[in-house]
Amino acid sequence: MLMENDVMTAPSLEETTVEKAFANINDDIILSEKARSEITKIMAANNIPDTYGLRVGVKGGGCSGLSYSLGFDKEARDGDKSIEIDGVRIFVDPKSLFYLSGTQLDYTDGLNGKGFVFNNPNATKSCGCGSSFGV
């Protein structure tokens, strides 16, 4: 509680919600065994060095407003959170982290086709193909 003569100061960058979200990222993105295995296979088949990381992100677009993106990067960019899950390096930018908290990245090779699947608890709607979502 503030007293009459107390002065409030703005929080520093370290106290912002982005920094708070980064603090728990290791528990917030889940990588299934099938996804980890497929990422490892893709890297080996394409001669992608182990030092590279999987960039997981969100961008505007798709029929539900936002879509997921995956790719490989040589290194993390400024501001990225870099984590390692079961030997796979993952890079996430701050904006994407906001939408991906609690998401499980999985891989399916079922009757409806092969591909990576994002099981995102933050998505309130998604398209039929599962590649875009809205919050």
Between 63 and 36, whose confidence is greater? Answer: 36
Per the prediction, the chain carries an average pLDDT of 78
Contact status, residue 67 vs residue 57, Cβ threshold 8 Å: no
51: exposed, middle or buried (Cβ count in 10 Å: 0-12, 13-18, 19+): exposed
3-state DSSP helix/strand/coil % of the chain, to nearest 5 = 25, 35, 40
Calpha distance 45→19 (Å, rounded): 36
For the question of whether the overall pTM of this predicted structure is more than 0.85, the answer is no
Q: Note the pLDDT tens digit of each residue in 85-96.
A: 888 999 999 888
Calpha distance 85→92 (Å, rounded): 13
**Using 50, 70 and 90 to split pLDDT, how confident is the model at 7?**
low
Contact status, residue 88 vs residue 74, Cβ threshold 8 Å: no
Looking only at the bridges linking them, the beta strands covering 53-60 and 88-92 are parallel
Name the 3-class secondary structure at 19.
Answer: helix
pLDDT score for 29: 84
Contact status, residue 117 vs residue 70, Cβ threshold 8 Å: no
pLDDT score for 63: 62
User: What is the average pLDDT across 126-130?
Assistant: 55
User: What is the average pLDDT across 21-49?
Assistant: 83
